[in-house]
């Protein structure tokens, strides 16, 4: 029987497979598309950093109410014209522990903002749209 976690895991796996398949066809990592929320992929993240893109890493969990509150804020930011170049990488706190550790996050509901390869902001458990927008704007 499939539960919600199984379905989310299958969806994440399919997204990762699509990124891997696309990168194999292109001969390198598939670039992350700006203004979209994509599952974290190390090669795509490195490519976005090398390109100097503004990046938001969202570390969340499906069971986390704060993460659920952050999601629509992040989606609305990504849709704004001033954030058209923003690349949002989603990291699942439960299934992507090595990535969570590598990013130095200690909890779910953590947002990390990069301007290229330089970290310019970090917050945890923030659900204030204005403060999240101000932090992300530092990457522009």
Q: Name the pLDDT band for 35 (thresholds 50, 70, 90).
A: low
Both tokens assigned to 104:
């130095």
* pLDDT (0 to 100) of residue 37: 81
Which is nearest to 85 in space by CA: 35, 135, 138? Answer: 35
Q: What is the CATH number of the domain that holds 62?
A: 3.40.30.10
What rounded mean pLDDT belongs to the chain? Answer: 82
Q: What are the CA-CA distances from residue 20 to residues 28, 41, 56, 75 (Å)?
A: 9, 9, 21, 24
Q: Name the pLDDT band for 129 (thresholds 50, 70, 90).
A: very high
Q: Which domain holds residue 104?
A: 4-137
| Partners of residue 119 on adjacent β-strands | 114
- For 2-14, how does the pLDDT look when each residue is reduced to its tens digit (9 = 90+)? 444 444 444 444 4
As for how many domains the chain has, the answer is 1
Distance CA 22, CA 16 (A): 10
| pTM: predicted TM-score of the whole model, two decimal places | 0.75
């Amino acid at each position: 029987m499939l539960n919600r976690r199984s379905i989310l895991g299958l969806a994440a796996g399919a997204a990762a497979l699509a990124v891997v398949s696309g990168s194999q066809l292109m001969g390198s990592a598939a670039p992350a598309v700006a203004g979209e929320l994509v599952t974290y992929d190390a090669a795509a993240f490195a490519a976005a950093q090398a390109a100097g893109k503004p990046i938001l890493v969202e570390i969340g969990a499906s069971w986390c109410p704060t993460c659920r509150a952050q999601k629509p804020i992040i989606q609305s930011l990504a849709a704004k014209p001033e954030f058209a170049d923003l690349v949002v990488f989603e990291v699942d706190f439960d299934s992507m522990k090595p990535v969570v550790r590598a990013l130095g996050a200690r909890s779910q509901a953590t947002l990390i903002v990069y301007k290229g390869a330089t970290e310019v902001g970090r917050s945890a458990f923030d659900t204030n749209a204005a403060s999240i927008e101000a932090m992300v704007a530092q990457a522009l």
